[in-house]
Amino acid sequence: MKKVLYIFLCAGGFTLSACYTIKPKAYMIEGHITHSSDWCSGVAPGPEYDEEERNPPPYIGLKLYIKCGKVNSTKSKIYTTTITDSMGNFKLKLPVGNYIILQAEKLKKPTIPKDDSYCKWDSACIIKNWSEGDYKFKVDDKSNKKINFDLRRHCNWNYPCMRYDGPLPP
């Protein structure tokens, strides 16, 4: 009787996902994200800046988007999201595969800035940086994965993919 009832429930659509989909085994991924920035102007930084460079602070409350694959694309779907905690840490459970971590601004294809008298932009470089995402990693069945990376903020005259030929700030 139980077997007939189970078949009826599956055929009726109540538990179709349990009947037809096998969930892949997921592995725990732990991560820690920090943030740092270039020294952009003013008097040369002191020892406290050097210490922050060696030990950047945690990136708190950052929403991360995780996509499957090795390359970011507008066609690839977001697999899951997570937010860093008060220590810059996050945890995910993911099946075996390749993944790429993105911040919100990398979900859409980048707009190439227009050149001006000081800034010359390399569009191929911008597309390449966008497609590489913020961090790539692979989950395998061997062990838990630990991810650590720093997100660096650049000076407005020192962006990646830009050549700046103007006056530097005082």
The top-scoring range by mean pLDDT among 15-29, 94-108, 135-149 is: 94-108
Q: What's this model's pTM, rounded to 2 decimal places?
A: 0.77
Q: What pLDDT was estimated at residue 22?
A: 64
What's phi and psi for 123, nearest 5 deg? -65, -40
Which of the two residues, 115 and 47, has the higher pLDDT score? 115
CA angle 47, 88, 148 (to 5 degrees): 80
Coil, strand or helix at 75? coil
% of the chain with per-residue pLDDT over 90:
59
Query: Could you read off the pLDDT of 67-77 as tens digits, one per residue?
Result: 999 999 999 99
| pLDDT of 145 | 79
Q: Does domain 24-107+134-155 have CATH number 2.40.160.20?
A: no
